[in-house]
Amino acid sequence: MTKEYVAHEKIGGTLACVIANGNHFGKTPYSEWKVLIGDVPSDDLSRNFRVQLGIETEQLNAKFFQMRSGLHVDRSAEARGLHQGINEDYLVCQPDGFVSGPGANRSLFEAKHTNHMSSMEIQIDRYFPQLQHNMYVTETKSAFISVIFGNQDPEYCEIMRDDEWLSR
């Protein structure tokens, strides 16, 4: 059940990280602007092993998140499809799923796979702009980030939406 990426030429979660951090995996606001205006083609990530590994492990990550948290992850095509901002049609996101459960509000699910030397704090810091952006677009109040570190068991953390951070 591989997610089909939808090319959208709008501000998505990855671009939110680039804008907020000034550099995200070698991408800068200027380099991404050049892609958006059509001066430079977007990267073909189909042969990028690390990107493909992350995509391939999303379902396994979600499975273990469900077992450990007792919450359900909706990874349907609709949940993982392109979501557009209600008031800003130039804002979009493609989440890895949505979390629900008894007594829980609908939350985002974001799966990551990184090296074994990283930490949850580093991953939260790296993806905080993406999580905040995606929560804003989907009008959710929290997001669960679940991270596989190398070949270790996944860890997860709930991040709350920060409207003050978003307004900045």
pTM of the model: 0.88
Which pLDDT belongs to residue 25? 86
Which pLDDT belongs to residue 4? 60
Please list, in sequence order, all residues whose beta carbon lies within 8 angstroms of the beta carbon of residue 122, skipping any fewer than 6 positions away.
none
Q: Write out the H or E segment, with its range, that includes residue 45.
A: none
pLDDT tens readout for residues 30-85: 988 888 888 988 888 889 999 899 999 999 999 999 999 999 999 999 999 999 99
Helices (H) and strands (E) in the chain, counts: 6, 7
Which pLDDT belongs to residue 1? 46
